[in-house]
């Protein structure tokens, strides 16, 4: 067979295949997560506090500025690498995964796309050095209807004065910089929504109650309080009235990040269940020898692999400049379903032990539930998918 014929008949290289550099990056993150995060998972979950020393290590390893150009102190990497990092960290602790995810796919993403040169010089070096970011969109009365927000911004001279409250803000306790949305003109509807870069030390800004959650307990979820918070007008992100576009486009990428978090979670739960099934003996043999257990493990492995293909494909599409909105919604929807299902079955494989905190699967089960809720509920993902497959916008 000629070389030309061999090239024609060889199977195409999958879009989701990893390069050697990506494999090396993934393996390094995986080893770090095993060595540094795993020993602290249970204690952080029980205390509901994420250890600051670990976040410092995230910065030292370059995990908090993966796509940020090297000139600003970042790694100058691709979105795909950020997704690999979220997956590998979430395999050990989804609380850690969401910290890396929000930093890269939401906050840094928004700053990279919408800041002017001066804002880039002021903020990107901080995001890669030591400053955690948060994304402040949700409010008490605006969940899925995210733009029914009540937070107001009124321009007074060289400043905007912000008043209102934000809820469910991931990284709220640790963050030093917030991408925060408010309306400058309620009568304009979504066209009045404006994004601001708010620093934690701005007058009138404070972090309120930290939520006591079912899962991802080490990740802080906080209320933000703005009482005549003064924000310099040069801290408008993009331009006034463009907050809706910024939020929608940023969240599209963020949904792939949540898909990666749920992928990592499912892998972690499945690997624990597989190991336990080979160790646990009943009726004189390992429970993995029973066909019922084998079929459960096989089904879980198949669904996890399907999620991996979807997550990687959507990330590759983003890096290639393709339209990935539908794929991002599908990833968020399916990955959260699989993560919840795999974590639940993993608890069952452990039996009574799976219902205790002495083993890791009960935490994966608790952590999985949020995947169907934040960054767009499953119903909102279905709505987006339906519109796109039916030819809508």
Total number of domains constituting the chain: 3
Please answer whether residues 11 and 135 qualify as being in contact, where contact means their C-beta atoms are separated by less than 8 angstroms: no
Overall average pLDDT of the 354-375 stretch: 97
Kindly give, in sequence order, each residue whose CB lies less than 8 Å from that of residue 18, ignoring residues fewer than 6 positions away: 26, 84
Examine residue 9 and state whether it is found in any structural domain, yes or no.
Answer: no
pLDDT tens-place string over residues 19-52:
999 999 999 999 999 999 999 999 999 999 999 9
Please answer whether residues 124 and 68 qualify as being in contact, where contact means their C-beta atoms are separated by less than 8 angstroms: yes
| Rg (the chain; Cα; Å) | 22
**Same domain assignment for residues 55 and 180:** no
**CATH code assigned at 383:** 1.20.140.10
Question: Please, what is the average pLDDT of the chain?
Answer: 94
Please answer whether residues 378 and 337 qualify as being in contact, where contact means their C-beta atoms are separated by less than 8 angstroms: yes
Kindly give, in sequence order, each residue whose CB lies less than 8 Å from that of residue 171, ignoring residues fewer than 6 positions away: 99, 102, 103, 132, 133, 134, 219, 220
**Same domain assignment for residues 296 and 222:** no
Cross-strand bridge partners of residue 154: 161
Please answer whether residues 176 and 199 qualify as being in contact, where contact means their C-beta atoms are separated by less than 8 angstroms: yes
Could you tell me the residue range of the domain that residue 126 belongs to?
A: 15-132
- The pLDDT-based confidence of 3 (bands split at 50, 70, 90) is very low
What are the distances in angstroms from CA 328 to CA 88, 165, 243, 385?
19, 29, 20, 9
**Same domain assignment for residues 117 and 252:** no
Whole-number pLDDT of residue 271: 98
- The pLDDT-based confidence of 393 (bands split at 50, 70, 90) is low
Token output for 337: 């379903």
Examine residue 7 and state whether it is found in any structural domain, yes or no.
Answer: no
**Same domain assignment for residues 271 and 231:** no
**Same domain assignment for residues 143 and 192:** yes
pTM for this prediction: 0.94
**Is 375 a known active-site residue?**
yes
**CATH code assigned at 167:** 2.40.110.10
**CATH code assigned at 118:** 1.10.540.10
Examine residue 6 and state whether it is found in any structural domain, yes or no.
Answer: no
Residue 2 above 80 pLDDT? Answer: no
**Same domain assignment for residues 347 and 364:** yes
**Same domain assignment for residues 128 and 149:** no
Whole-number pLDDT of residue 12: 46
Examine residue 5 and state whether it is found in any structural domain, yes or no.
Answer: no
Please answer whether residues 212 and 48 qualify as being in contact, where contact means their C-beta atoms are separated by less than 8 angstroms: yes
Whole-number pLDDT of residue 147: 76
What are the distances in angstroms from CA 292 to CA 287, 297, 364?
9, 9, 22
Q: Of 69, 100, 132, at which residue does a domain stop?
A: 132
Q: Of 180, 206, 241, at which residue does a domain stop?
A: 241
**Largest Cα–Cα separation, the chain:** 79
> What is the C-alpha to C-alpha distance for residues 195 and 317, in angstroms, rounded to an integer?
26
**Same domain assignment for residues 194 and 285:** no
The residue annotated as part of the active site, out of 87, 139, 223, 375, is 375
Overall average pLDDT of the 8-12 stretch: 44
Q: What is the DSSP letter of 18?
A: P
Examine residue 180 and state whether it is found in any structural domain, yes or no.
Answer: yes
Overall average pLDDT of the 217-232 stretch: 98
Residue 237: how many other CB atoms lie within 10 Å = 24
Query: What is residue 341's three-state secondary structure?
Result: helix
Overall average pLDDT of the 67-77 stretch: 97
Kindly give, in sequence order, each residue whose CB lies less than 8 Å from that of residue 221, ignoring residues fewer than 6 positions away: 168, 169, 170, 172, 210, 211, 213
Residue 130 above 50 pLDDT? Answer: yes
Whole-number pLDDT of residue 17: 86
Residue 276 above 80 pLDDT? Answer: yes
**Same domain assignment for residues 217 and 95:** no
Q: Of 106, 132, 158, at which residue does a domain stop?
A: 132
**Same domain assignment for residues 202 and 271:** no
Examine residue 87 and state whether it is found in any structural domain, yes or no.
Answer: yes
Closest CA to 64 of 127, 134, 147: 127
Token output for 102: 């929000």
Q: What is the DSSP letter of 347?
A: H
Strand spans (E) along the chain: 132-136, 152-156, 159-170, 175-183, 193-199, 205-210, 221-232, 236-237, 281-282, 285-286
> What is the C-alpha to C-alpha distance for residues 165 and 180, in angstroms, rounded to an integer?
11
> What is the C-alpha to C-alpha distance for residues 36 and 389, in angstroms, rounded to an integer?
43
**Same domain assignment for residues 227 and 344:** no
Residue 134: how many other CB atoms lie within 10 Å = 27
**Same domain assignment for residues 283 and 326:** yes
Q: What is the DSSP letter of 142?
A: B
Token output for 332: 């968020």
Examine residue 8 and state whether it is found in any structural domain, yes or no.
Answer: no
Whole-number pLDDT of residue 8: 43
Whole-number pLDDT of residue 351: 97
Examine residue 2 and state whether it is found in any structural domain, yes or no.
Answer: no
């Amino acid at each position: 067979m000629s070389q030309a014929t061999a090239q024609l008949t060889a199977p195409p290289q999958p879009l989701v295949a990893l390069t050697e550099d990506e494999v090396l990056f993934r393996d390094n993150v995986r080893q770090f997560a095993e060595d540094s995060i795993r020993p602290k998972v249970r204690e952080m979950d029980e205390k509901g506090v994420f250890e600051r020393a670990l976040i410092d290590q995230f910065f030292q390893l370059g995990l908090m500025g993966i796509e940020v150009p090297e000139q600003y102190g970042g790694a100058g990497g691709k979105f795909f690498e950020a997704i690999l990092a979220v997956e590998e960290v979430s395999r050990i602790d989804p609380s850690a995964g969401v910290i890396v995810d929000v930093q890269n796919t939401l906050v840094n993403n928004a700053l990279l796309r919408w800041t002017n040169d001066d804002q880039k010089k002021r903020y990107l070096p901080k995001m890669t050095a030591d400053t955690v970011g948060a994304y402040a969109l949700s409010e008490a009365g605006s969940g899925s209807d995210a733009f029914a927000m009540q937070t107001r911004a009124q321009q007074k001279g060289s400043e905007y004065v912000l008043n209102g409250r934000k809820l469910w803000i991931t990284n709220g306790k640790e963050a030093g910089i917030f991408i925060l949305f408010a309306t400058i003109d309620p009568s304009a509807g979504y066209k009045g929504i404006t994004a601001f870069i708010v620093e934690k030390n701005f007058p009138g800004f404070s972090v309120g109650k930290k939520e006591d959650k079912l899962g991802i307990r080490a990740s802080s979820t906080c209320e933000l309080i703005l009482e005549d918070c003064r924000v310099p007008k040069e801290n408008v992100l993009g331009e006034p009235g463009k907050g809706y576009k910024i939020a929608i486009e940023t969240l599209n990428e963020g949904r792939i990040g949540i898909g990666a978090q749920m992928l990592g979670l499912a892998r972690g739960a499945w690997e624990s269940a597989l190991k336990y099934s080979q160790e646990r003996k009943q009726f004189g043999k390992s429970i993995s020898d029973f066909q019922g257990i084998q079929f459960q493990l096989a089904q879980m492995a198949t669904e996890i692999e399907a999620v991996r293909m979807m997550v990687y494909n959507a990330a590759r599409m983003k890096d290639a400049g393709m339209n990935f909105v539908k794929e991002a919604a599908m990833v968020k929807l399916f990955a959260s379903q699989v993560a919840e299902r795999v974590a639940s079955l993993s608890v069952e494989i452990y039996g009574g032990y799976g219902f205790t905190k002495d083993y890791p699967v009960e935490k994966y089960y608790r952590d999985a539930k949020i995947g169907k809720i934040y960054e767009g509920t499953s119903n909102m993902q279905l709505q987006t998918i339906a519109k796109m497959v039916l030819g809508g916008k």
